[in-house]
């Protein structure tokens, strides 16, 4: 089974939905739970530059995807069912 990252955003700029295949495995790195690793993964190295980014998802191939508080973020299975809602509350 492959996992898909589905990101829905666009309250201000029109609706946008992006679906990205993560592969059979993925890792979520939350700012709050693992700030040291989050700083290493963050492209600028300074987490204060993007306060809306609360986590990263690392795909099976090592590709990093940002999770923004301005989007609704889900992990889906390859049949289109929600596996996990990883959005901020």
Q: State residue 57's pLDDT score.
A: 96
pLDDT of residue 65 exceeding 70, the answer is yes
What does the pLDDT read at residue 43?
61
Total residues found in the chain within this entry: 89
pTM of the model: 0.85
**What single string gives the DSSP state of each residue in 28-52?**
EEETTT-HHHHHHHSTTS-GGG-TT
Which pLDDT value is given to residue 12? 61
- State yes or no: pLDDT of 64 exceeds 80: yes
Count Cα neighbours of 83 within 13 Å in the Cβ-side half-sphere: 16
Tens of pLDDT, residue by residue over 4-63, are: 999 998 766 678 999 999 999 999 999 999 988 888 877 665 555 677 889 999 999 999
């Amino acid at each position: 089974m492959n996992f898909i990252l589905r990101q829905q955003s666009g309250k201000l700029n029109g609706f946008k939905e992006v679906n990205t295949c993560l592969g059979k495995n993925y890792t979520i790195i939350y700012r709050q739970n693992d700030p040291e690793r989050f700083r290493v993964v963050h492209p600028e190295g300074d987490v204060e530059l993007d306060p809306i980014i609360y986590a990263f998802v690392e795909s099976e191939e090592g590709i990093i995807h940002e999770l923004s508080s301005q989007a609704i973020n889900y992990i889906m299975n390859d049949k289109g069912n929600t596996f996990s809602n990883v959005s901020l509350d």
